[in-house]
Amino acid sequence: MREAAANPWARLGAVAVAFAVLPFLMPGGSLELNPVQWHRWPLHAGFIDLATTVLVFALFALGFNLLFGHTGELSFGHAMFFALGAYATALYTKGFDVMLWGLHLQHDAGTNALVALVLAVGIAALWGFGLARLIVPRSSGIYYSMITMAFAQVIYFITFHWSDLTGGEDGIQAISRPSLPGLPADWLADPSGTHFFIFAAAVTFVAVVAYSWILYSPFGTVLHAIRENKQRSRFIGYDVDKFRVNAFVISTIFPAVGGWLWVYFQQSINPDAGSIDYSGRVVMMSLLGGIGSFVGPMLGSFVYWDLQNSVSQVTKYWPAAIGAVFVLFVLIAPSGIVGAFDDLRRYGAAEALRRWVSPRERLKTDLSEELPESGPH
């Protein structure tokens, strides 16, 4: 998707303002979760907490979107990085003491949030690097997606089955919030959730700035080229696989930071964080918002959580409603909300509507028929 040629600074400013007013944009009313805890994580009541959740998943979606929206690679298992970041943080903070095939692994509880962050990002990026090196030269397209999904399941099963370390199905509880330098030790533990929101907003904003920087750099330009026409990119001299690997590794950092925030926010973690469900959510968010656009993933997170929150008060089968909305978007508005607005702006209402309803052309360049683009290499 073409970006409107807007000033990146203006864009970042707009994002900052959006973050600032976010809590006020959350739907009101009773926010009790329905009794069937299908996904079993506790969500605290309150607009603010929903806003914080939106931010965490916005982070998650940014990373995913770098890969799918901007490089054209659909990683359907990106929750594994969210989970890795989360569990790294949780284990660092609570400590652990386990045996692994004769090796004794032990660590006392840690309190330094920054160390936790480095660990979270480091572990996620390391796994991402190894995975990318394995997968990228050997696959692309939906074959690639299948493989990423499969490897995400490996992480999921490890968090589920290695109970000694990860607490198994129940996960890890009672994780205390860190203290921030220069602030009172329990500042983040503020019961109204406001302080944590501010913290999350600051972290997310920094991440957004970094994201913007990457996107508008020459590196980002090449990613777009790869998305548009991988083969052509190869033939003008780009080492496409190297870029794909690098993009993958970078894309793991954002969910890892999200996981780090999430653990301190929820003060607990369980295997759901790495489940297909979570991977799917971030995919849906990104598409709803608009893949390939700058604000799309963040907007998508906002829309998704509002939707889930509202619909879940009406029916316990809310995932079906969200699934249906998503299906509709895939069919009619694959460029998401941002894309729809783009179309409206460019074509006017009548023409945009006509385009949405009529058969859509391929969203990427048709490649030469000689080389199969997807599948094993």
Partner 1 sequence: MKPVVDKSVGYAFKTEALTRAFSGFRAVNEVSVEIPRGGVRTIIGPNGAGKTTFFNLLSGLFPPTSGRIFFGGIDVTKLDPYQRARLGIARSFQITNIFAKLSVYENVRLAVQAVHDGAANFFLPARRMGDLDTKTEAILADIGLTAVASGRAENLSHGDQRRLEIGLVLARDPDVLLLDEPLAGMSPAETHATVELIQRISPGRTIMLVEHDMDVVMSISTTITVMQTGQVLAVGTPEEIRGNEAVQRAYLGGLA
Partner 2 sequence: MLHQLSDQFFNGITLGMLYILVALGLNIILGLMGVINFSHGSFFMLGAYVAYSLAPHVGFWPSILLAALIIGLFGMLFESVLIRPLYRRLPEYTLLLTFGTALIFQEFVRRVWGDDAVRYPALPDYLSGSVTFGSYQFPVYKDVFLVAITVVILAVVWLLINRTNIGVIIRAGTRDAEMVKILGINMPLMFTLVFGIGSFMAGLAGALAAPIYAIIPNLASQWIILTFVIVIVGGIGSFWGAVVGGLIIGVLSSLMELVFPPAVDVTGFIIMGVILLVRPRGLFGVEGLFE
Q: Which residues bind partner 2 (CB under 8 A)?
A: 36, 74, 76, 134-135, 138-139, 141-143, 145-147, 149-151, 153-154, 157-158, 160-162, 276-277, 280, 283-284, 287, 317-320, 322-324, 326-327, 330-331, 334, 359-364, 371-377
**Nearer CB in complex with partner 2: 354/377:** 377
Task: Kindly report the backbone phi and psi dihedral angles of residue 306, in degrees, each rounded to the nearest multiple of 5, phi listed first.
Answer: -60, -45
Among residues 10, 103, 174, 236, the one that binds partner 1 under rule CB under 8 A: 236
User: Is 235 a residue that touches partner 1 (CB under 8 A)?
Assistant: yes
**Nearer CB in complex with partner 2: 158/180:** 158
Q: Which residues contact 302 (CB under 8 A, 6 or more apart)?
A: 22, 25, 54, 58, 289
User: Is 367 a residue that touches partner 1 (CB under 8 A)?
Assistant: yes
Q: Are 299 and 338 in contact (CB under 8 A)?
A: yes
Task: Kindly report the backbone phi and psi dihedral angles of residue 105, in degrees, each rounded to the nearest multiple of 5, phi listed first.
Answer: -110, 125
Dihedral of the alpha carbons of 309, 311, 316, 322, in degrees to the nearest 10: -100
Residues 161-200, mask of contacts with partner 1 (x by CB under 8 A): ----------------------------------------
* Distance from C-alpha of 190 to C-alpha of 196, rounded to nearest angstrom: 7
User: Is 252 a residue that touches partner 1 (CB under 8 A)?
Assistant: no
Residues 314-353, mask of contacts with partner 1 (x by CB under 8 A): ----------------------------------------
If phi > 0 it is left, if psi is from -120 to 50 it is alpha, else beta; for residue 109 that is: beta
Interacting span for partner 1 (CB under 8 A) from 43-51, 82-90, 229-237, 262-270: 229-237
**Nearer CB in complex with partner 2: 78/177:** 78
In order of 78, 80, 149, 277, the CA distances from 74 in angstroms are 9, 14, 10, 16
* Distance from C-alpha of 302 to C-alpha of 320, rounded to nearest angstrom: 18
Among residues 111, 192, 310, 368, the one that binds partner 1 under rule CB under 8 A: 368
**Nearer CB in complex with partner 2: 191/359:** 359
**Nearer CB in complex with partner 1: 360/364:** 364
Among residues 34, 163, 221, 374, the one that binds partner 1 under rule CB under 8 A: 221
- Least distance (Å) from partner 2 to the CB of residue 156? 9
Could you tell which of partner 2, partner 1, none binds residue 284, using a CB distance below 5 to 8 A set by kind? partner 2
User: Is 231 a residue that touches partner 1 (CB under 8 A)?
Assistant: yes
Q: Bridge-partner residues for 100, per DSSP?
A: 103
* Distance from C-alpha of 109 to C-alpha of 95, rounded to nearest angstrom: 4
- Token reading at 288: 């709803």
* Distance from C-alpha of 55 to C-alpha of 260, rounded to nearest angstrom: 12
Among residues 114, 314, 364, 374, the one that binds partner 1 under rule CB under 8 A: 364
**Nearer CB in complex with partner 2: 151/264:** 151
- Least distance (Å) from partner 2 to the CB of residue 264? 29
Instruction: For residue 3, give the DSSP letter.
Output: P
**Nearer CB in complex with partner 1: 34/368:** 368
Nearest Cα neighbor of 208 from 244, 247, 257 is 257
Supply the Cα-derived Rg of the chain in whole angstroms: 21
User: Half-sphere exposure of 265 toward its Cβ, with a 13 Å CA cutoff?
Assistant: 31
336-357 vs 318-332: helix crossing angle, rounded to 10 = 60
Nearest Cα neighbor of 202 from 359, 55, 4 is 55
Binding site for partner 1 (CB under 8 A): 2, 213-214, 217-219, 221-222, 224-225, 228-229, 231-240, 242-243, 246, 364-371
